[in-house]
Structure 1
Amino acid sequence: MIRYGQQDINQADIDAVISVLKSVNLTQGPAISAFEQSVLDFTNAKYAVAVNSATSALHIACMALGLGPGDRLWTTPNTFVASANCALYCGAQVDFVDIDPLTYNLCPIKLEEKLIVAKNVGKLPKIVVPVHLTGQPCDMAAIHALGKEYGFKIIEDASHAIGGRYKGEAIGNGRYSDITVFSFHPVKIITTAEGGMALTNDAEVATRLGLLRSHGITRDPALMTTLADGPWYYQQVALGFNYRMTDMQAALGVSQMSRLVEYVKRRHEIAKRYDELLVDLPITLPRQHEDSYSAYHLYVIRLQLDKIAVSHLQVFEALRAKDIMVNLHYIPVHTQPYYQSMGFKQGDYPLAEQYYREAISIPMHPTLTQQEQDFVVECIKEAICL
């Protein structure tokens, strides 16, 4: 079986986790700050808060920026549901902006068009969440400029994108956003099994993120409303959650970070080879914007259905029948039953819907061998010619 994505665990990773298991701190120990610092060193951001998932990171990011009832969050329909659900967790409303037909990311032109209309009717978003689909960054400079003009905050959902760059700088540095979120799920670039992280350059936002991660509880005298009764004392100063990452996960993350550059380089080698092997087929290959250096979490092909005699489903099933575990990223969020119950409907975001009808994520991970890649390509050729 050839999976579309999978983790790479070596002996150093195993040793790092075992060292924590033999220590006195299985959670809330020194491995957490070490992992946070390793990501800060790579991205050049100022503050990092590790949590138990990217979904948790998105949730507390929204809360840290003050999102609540009566507010609006806009994101792309071409994403996993968590990018939109984080607004609903806060009691806010969700809306979507259609995608760029070349990069498949949130389109800044369509964003501006929608902002003009929203300003006229008094319904501007408080937060916009651009999603770096497949690891390729959105046009953050354009989105940031619109944020300044229309007054919204920006959370970069970079769940696919650690190790990538935008305009020569590491994704996560915070130049064009208020908060950046990473995911460390096993199929992502690096893994902590489950896990996520929120990065920011704002000290106050970082403090709120830290409180929200752990029940809203603090032992910091500067954050307490009264003097401490003794060394045992703590106060709950906000309504937070138990979103903490364990030291075992963080130790794995530190070890994995040592191979991040190597992982992304290998993904680029695989992508380049796919580009060469698939170029003459009736397939649209991923386009890389000149300002981006993708982390290549995914390699998505789009079938040119008007040039082949088989359906999207037939090609997908033919590949699965060969034990190639292709996938589809993503079903547009607004077409999910839960979101349709809120009034969204088919046809609302036609470019995202067209992408969904044509897209297939084919195997992309550092342990993919040349032999496996050749087999994937041959099977794609066979499937298209069914």
Structure 2
Amino acid sequence: MNETLWPARNVAEYAYCPRLFYYMEVEGIHLPSGDTLEGVRIHRRVDAPSVEAPNGDTDADRPRAIRSLTLTSHRLGLTATLDLAEITGNMAIPVEYRKGRPRHILRQEDADDDDSEAGRCVAEPWPTDRIHVGLQAILLEESGYTVPHGILYYAAEKRRLTLPVDETLREEALNTLAAAKACAAGPRPLPLVNDPRCPRCSLQPICLPDEVNQQRSAGGRGQIKPRKLWPPRDDGIHIVAQQNGTKIGVRGATLTVTDKDGFKLKEVPLAGVESLALLGSVQISTQAIHTLADRGVPLALLTPAGRLVAMVDPLDSVSAEVRRAQVRSFDDPARCLELSRALVTAKILNQRKLLMRNAVGFPEGLATALAEQAEQ
């Protein structure tokens, strides 16, 4: 019997973006990003299966907290693994953990009521999270439990939101499940148009919504133009010191920069320093080198013209055997060719994407030519 069980987590993604759901659930394409990796870190604790109390030492009046509870409904073709379920008798409360923040809505409907808090910002679950908890509640109810509400915990704000489980939520969740099943039959949905959700989507480099929409609208009226794409901004501070006689030192939790006469030019918090580059006759104290090394901050020594002389790169946790294997791999011509091809391919594809988004008067056919070069 060929039976398809749809993961509730992926079905909930349909409420976020049908095309994302199709990539993940139908084509099996997953691409990690900073957001997804942070989500994995948040889930490490709650994903550990629960352990029964020794010698049956449990309090009958206290809810049982069961982690990684897997439920399946063959009738719905649905399966889910709950982060946490708080069970008391025949009542169960699904608890979902999210790494980000809840949705904030400005309420204005009570503006005529003098005693109300009109205009205040109210936190509520995102639609995707509502669907996810709704599907979990349906699975718990099919297993014989009563589910009065669900709980969503948003780690970024350490906020716990209660989501009532009513007919509206059940209907919304089942409608999403039906729509997701219909979507999976194909074809692949078209990308969203100029949607703010796209830039931070983990599959944006594969989906390429702006590029696809531009190609579809080429030659038509009101042509869609790709949004400009800029490299991600690193919030850390990269310091370059090049004035002759400048001295770099540390004082407490700050990096100090003084001139040759000892006059303080600048103080920089060490917590925000990402790198330090010294050009020409700039001095640095031994204490500053040790402090930067302890914090994993690389130090570059360059000539006044900017030619690299030496690097002080802090040791990491990689073992000597791994480093030795990495170095030895460069003695293999086939391995070197493979790595070189991967680097050149990535460079071509990256430049192609930047040109398609940012170039003015992008030549026709150049995008196809670059894609063909990357495949060679």
Task: Using structure 1 for the length normalisation, give the TM-score.
Answer: 0.19
Larger strand percent: 2
Task: Answer 1 or 2: higher relative contact order, Cα 8 Å, separation at least 6.
Answer: 1
Task: Using structure 2 for the length normalisation, give the TM-score.
Answer: 0.19
Bigger Rg over Cα: 2
